[in-house]
C-alpha cells in the first residue's frame, strides 16, 4: 500500500506540470525521433532480405563526376533488375543503398542506419562549413524581424491598437505582393552557385544581370499596383469602412516606393549567397536597417508624421540597401554597366522564368493562405485587439525562428554547390549534406521551440496595452510548438530549391495552403479565434513536413543524363 500511495502521489505531481511545456517536449521528441526513424526505416525492407539470400544483381548509385551512365545502369537506377531471366520491379528506395557505379561514389552498400549515423552532426568539416554559412545568414535574417519589431514598437507607442492593426494589414499585403513577384532570389541563388562551383565567372555575372533586369521590370509592376491601387488591394484583408484603413492606406502607399530597390536588394543578397559570401549581405543589411531604426522615431514623432513617417523610414532604408548592392556587385565584377542595360534574350531568361513560374505558384498559394489568416484576424473584433495580437505573435515567431529559416538558405547554397563541385563533389556528397541539414534542423527546432516558450514574458515589450498582450499569449505558445518541426521543413524546402524541384515544392505548398485555409474556416465556425488560426498554420507546416521528407527519402530520382536533358 505505501508503494501504491507513492505511485498515486507521483502521478498527481506529474499532472501539475505545465501543459504547454509537456506538449513542447513531447512534440520535440516525436519530431527528432520521426526524422531519425525516416532514415532508419529505409533499411527494414532491405537488410533482412540481404541477410536471408545473396544479392543476385548490382544496384547502381551514381555521382555527377561518374562516367556516362549506360542504358543498363539507367534501367537499374529506375528500380528494375534482371534476375534469373525475368525483369522484377523494385522500390526506388534501395537506389541509395546499393553498390556504387564508380569509384567516386563511396556509399559502398551503405545501410540506412549507417546513413543516419553519417548524417548526425559531429563537429567535422561539413558542420564547420554549414556554420560558416549559417551564422552570417542568421544574423542577416535576424535583422529584418528585429527592425520589424522596432517598427511595431514605435507604432505601438502611438497608443492606438488600430494603428498596429493597420500596420499589420499593410505589411501583409506588401510582403504578399512582394514575394509573389520576387521569385528571383530563390531561382538566382542555385544558378549562381552552379556557375561559381564550376568556375564560370562570366556565366555567374550574366545570371546576376539577367535577374537584376527582371527585378527592375517586375518591381515597377509591383510599385504601380500598390501605389496607385492601394484601396483596392487592401480589400483583401480590410473591408471598406474598417477603422484600421485610416492607418493602413497611407502606410502602404508610401511603402510601395521601396518595391524596386527592395527587389534589387534581394537579387544582390541571393547573388552573394550563390558565391558563398554571406558576410557582405550581413553588412549591407545591418547598415541599412540601422538607418531605418534611427529614422523611425525622428519621422514619426519629431516631425509628427505618424504612420507615413514609419513607411518613409523603410523606403529610405531600402533605397540605400539597393544602391549598396549595385556598387558591391560591380566591384566583384558580377555586374557591369554594359551588361546591366543589355536586354537579355528570351532563351537566357527561360531558366529564370521556368523556375520562377513554379516559385510564383508557390508564393501565390502561401500568401493567399496568410492573407486569409490576416483577414480573419482583422474581422474578429472592431477594436483591433485580435488583429494587433496576431501581428505581434507573427513577429515574435519570426524573430525567434530565424535560425531555422537560415537552414533553408544553407541548403539552397550547399546542395547545388556539392553537386557541381569539381573536386570530390557529386550526387552522394550533395545527399550527405542534405541528410546533415535535415537532422540539424530537427535538433535546432526543439531548442528554438523551448526558448520561445521561456521567452513568453517578453511579450510585454511589444505593446503597452494589456488586452493585446493577453490576447497574444496563446498564439505565441502555439507558434512555439510549431517551431519544433519547422527546422526540418525549412531545411527540406532549401534542399528542394537546391535540386531545382520547383514544381514539387509548388504542389506541396498549394496543398498545405489549402489545408490551412480550410482549417481557418473550420476553426472560425467553432469560435476558436486566434488559437484556431495558429492551429491551422501548424497544419500548413505539417503538410510541408510530410512533403519535404517524402521528396528527400522516397521520391524517385532521375539519372544524371536525364536531369541534363530535362
Mean per-residue pLDDT of the chain: 76
Give the model's pLDDT for residue 35: 44
Residue 32 lies in a domain: no
DSSP 81: E
Written as nine digits, the cell of 261 is 530597390
Indicate the pLDDT class of residue 177, thresholds 50, 70 and 90. Answer: confident
Supply 8's cell numbers.
Answer: 498515486
Give a yes or no: residue 20 inside a domain. Answer: no
Which domain, by its residues, includes 103? 60-111
Please, what sign has the CA dihedral across residues 485, 487, 488, 489? Answer: positive
How many angstroms separate the CA atoms of 16 and 9, rounded? 11
Sign of the alpha-carbon torsion through 289, 290, 292, 293:
positive
Q: CB-hemisphere CA count at 13 Å for 159? A: 1
> Does residue 68 sit in the same domain as residue 199?
no
Residue 305 is assigned to a structural domain of this protein: yes
Q: Which of 158, 177, 379, 166 is nearest to 260 (CA)?
A: 177
Same domain, 361 and 257: yes
User: For the purposes of burial, counting CB atoms within 10 Å of the CB of 85, is it exposed (0-12), middle (13-18) or buried (19 or more)?
Assistant: exposed
Shared domain for 285 and 403, answered yes or no, is yes
Confidence of residue 145 (pLDDT cuts 50, 70, 90): low
Least confident segment among 131-135, 270-274, 336-340, 438-442: 336-340
Looking at the fold, whether 75 and 160 belong to one and the same domain comes out as no
Do 467 and 393 fall into the same domain?
Answer: yes
User: Would residue 18 count as lying in a domain?
Assistant: no
Q: Give the pLDDT confidence score for residue 186 in this predicted structure.
A: 66
Residue 302 pLDDT grade (very low, low, confident, very high; cuts 50, 70, 90): very high
Q: How far apart are CA 404 and CA 20, in angstroms?
A: 21
How many domains would you assign to the chain? 2
The whole-number pLDDT of residue 203 equals 87
pLDDT in tens, 227-267: 999 999 999 889 888 999 999 999 999 999 999 999 999 88
Task: State mean pLDDT over 184-188.
Answer: 70
Which pLDDT belongs to residue 37?
Answer: 46
Q: Is 157 in the same domain as 267? A: yes
Q: Is the pLDDT of residue 475 over 60?
A: yes
Which three cell numbers, joined as nine digits, stand for 414? 550547399
Residues 147 and 195 in one domain: yes
CA distances from 154 to 14, 165, 310, 464, 525 (A): 43, 13, 8, 11, 35
Same domain, 106 and 168: no
Tell me, yes or no, whether 39 lies in a domain.
no
481 lies in the same domain as 344: yes
Instruction: Clarify whether residues 167 and 143 are in a common domain.
Output: yes
Q: Would you state the cell numbers that stand for residue 505, as one nine-digit string?
A: 515544392
Q: What is the pLDDT of residue 557?
A: 52
Name the more confident of 24 and 327: 327
The whole-angstrom distance between residue 187's C-alpha and the CA centroid of its chain comes to 13
Q: Are both 98 and 135 inside the same structural domain?
A: no
Name the maximum alpha-carbon separation found in the chain: 89
Give the pLDDT of residue 453: 86
Q: Supply the pLDDT for residue 556.
A: 52
CB-count exposure of residue 48 (10 Å: 0-12, 13-18, 19+):
exposed
State yes or no: pLDDT of 291 exceeds 90: yes
Is the separation of the CB atoms in 487 and 448 below 8 Å? Answer: yes
Least confidently predicted of 357-361, 509-513, 519-523: 357-361
Alpha helix ranges (H) inside 235-344: 245-255, 259-274, 279-297, 307-331, 337-340
Could you give the percent of the chain with pLDDT greater than 70?
76
Do 400 and 455 form a contact (C-beta atoms < 8 A)? yes
Q: Give yes or no for a contact between 540 and 508, defined as CB atoms under 8 angstroms apart.
A: no
Sign of CA dihedral 332, 334, 335, 339: positive
Pair 427, 418: CB distance under 8 Å: no
Is residue 534 within 8 A of residue 475, CB to CB? The reply is yes
- Residue range 109-137: average pLDDT? 82
Cell of 524: 472560425
CB-neighbour burial class of residue 456 (10 A; exposed 0-12, middle 13-18, buried 19+)? middle
User: What are the pLDDT digits (tens) for 348-383?
Assistant: 777 777 777 777 778 778 878 888 898 888 888 888
Residue 229 lies in a domain: yes
**Rounded average pLDDT over 55-76:** 37
HSE, side-chain direction, 13 A CA sphere, residue 554:
9
Helices and strands in the chain: count of H runs, count of E runs: 23, 2
Q: What confidence tier does 294 reach under pLDDT thresholds 50, 70, 90?
A: very high
Question: Is residue 154, in this structure, part of any structural domain at all?
Answer: yes
- pTM above the 0.85 mark? no
* Residue 145: count of CB within 10 angstroms of its CB: 20
Residue keyed to cell 527546432: 445
Amino acid at each position: 500500500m505505501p508503494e501504491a500511495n507513492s505511485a498515486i502521489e507521483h502521478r498527481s505531481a506529474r499532472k501539475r506540470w505545465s501543459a504547454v511545456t509537456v506538449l513542447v517536449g513531447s512534440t520535440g521528441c516525436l519530431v527528432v525521433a520521426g526524422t531519425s526513424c525516416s532514415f532508419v526505416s529505409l533499411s527494414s525492407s532491405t537488410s533482412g532480405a540481404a541477410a536471408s539470400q545473396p544479392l543476385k544483381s548490382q544496384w547502381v548509385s551514381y555521382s555527377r563526376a561518374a562516367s556516362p551512365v549506360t542504358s543498363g545502369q539507367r534501367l537499374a537506377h529506375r528500380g528494375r533488375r534482371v534476375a534469373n531471366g525475368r525483369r522484377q520491379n523494385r522500390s526506388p528506395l534501395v537506389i541509395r543503398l546499393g553498390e556504387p557505379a564508380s569509384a567516386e561514389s563511396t556509399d559502398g552498400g551503405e545501410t540506412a542506419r549507417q546513413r543516419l549515423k553519417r548524417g548526425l552532426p559531429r563537429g567535422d568539416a561539413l558542420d564547420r562549413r554549414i556554420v560558416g554559412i549559417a551564422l552570417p545568414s542568421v544574423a542577416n535574417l535576424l535583422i529584418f524581424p528585429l527592425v520589424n519589431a522596432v517598427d511595431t514598437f514605435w507604432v505601438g507607442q502611438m497608443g492606438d491598437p488600430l494603428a498596429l492593426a493597420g500596420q499589420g494589414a499593410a505589411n501583409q499585403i506588401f510582403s504578399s505582393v512582394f514575394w509573389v513577384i520576387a521569385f528571383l532570389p530563390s531561382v538566382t541563388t542555385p544558378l549562381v552557385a552552379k556557375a561559381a562551383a564550376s568556375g564560370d565567372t562570366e556565366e555567374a555575372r550574366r545570371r546576376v544581370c539577367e535577374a537584376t533586369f527582371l527585378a527592375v521590370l517586375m518591381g515597377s509592376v509591383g510599385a504601380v499596383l500598390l501605389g496607385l491601387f492601394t484601396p483596392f488591394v487592401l480589400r483583401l484583408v480590410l473591408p471598406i469602412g474598417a477603422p484600421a484603413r485610416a492607418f493602413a492606406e497611407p502606410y502602404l502607399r508610401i511603402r510601395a516606393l521601396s518595391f524596386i530597390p527592395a527587389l534589387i536588394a534581394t537579387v544582390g543578397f541571393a547573388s552573394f549567397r550563390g558565391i558563398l559570401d554571406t558576410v557582405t549581405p550581413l553588412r549591407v543589411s545591418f547598415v541599412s536597417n540601422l538607418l531605418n531604426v534611427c529614422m523611425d522615431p525622428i519621422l514619426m514623432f519629431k516631425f509628427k508624421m505618424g504612420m507615413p513617417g514609419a513607411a518613409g523610414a523603410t523606403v529610405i532604408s531600402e533605397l540605400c540597401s539597393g544602391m549598396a548592392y549595385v556598387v558591391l556587385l560591380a566591384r566583384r565584377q558580377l555586374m557591369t554597366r554594359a551588361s546591366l542595360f543589355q536586354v537579355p534574350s528570351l532563351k537566357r531568361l527561360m531558366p529564370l522564368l521556368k523556375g520562377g513560374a513554379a516559385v510564383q505558384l508557390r508564393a501565390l498559394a502561401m500568401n493567399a493562405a496568410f492573407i486569409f489568416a490576416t483577414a480573419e484576424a482583422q474581422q474578429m473584433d472592431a477594436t483591433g485587439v485580435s488583429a494587433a495580437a496576431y501581428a505581434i505573435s507573427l513577429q515574435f515567431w519570426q524573430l525567434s525562428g530565424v535560425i531555422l529559416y537560415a537552414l533553408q538558405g544553407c541548403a539552397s547554397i550547399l546542395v547545388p554547390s556539392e553537386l557541381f563541385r569539381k573536386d570530390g563533389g557529386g550526387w552522394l556528397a550533395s545527399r550527405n549534406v542534405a541528410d546533415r541539414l535535415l537532422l540539424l534542423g530537427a535538433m535546432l527546432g526543439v531548442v528554438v521551440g523551448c526558448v520561445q516558450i521561456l521567452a513568453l514574458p517578453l511579450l510585454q515589450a511589444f505593446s503597452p496595452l494589456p488586452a493585446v498582450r493577453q490576447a497574444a499569449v496563446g498564439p505565441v505558445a502555439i507558434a512555439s510548438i510549431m517551431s519544433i518541426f519547422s527546422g526540418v521543413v525549412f531545411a527540406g524546402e532549401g534542399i528542394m530549391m537546391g535540386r531545382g524541384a520547383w514544381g514539387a515544392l509548388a504542389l506541396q505548398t498549394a496543398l498545405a495552403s489549402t489545408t490551412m485555409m480550410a482549417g481557418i474556416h473550420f476553426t472560425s465556425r467553432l469560435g476558436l479565434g486566434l488559437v484556431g488560426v495558429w492551429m491551422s498554420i501548424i497544419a500548413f507546416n505539417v503538410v510541408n513536413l510530410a512533403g519535404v521528407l517524402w521528396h528527400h527519402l522516397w521520391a524517385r530520382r532521375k539519372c544524371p543524363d536525364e536531369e541534363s536533358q530535362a
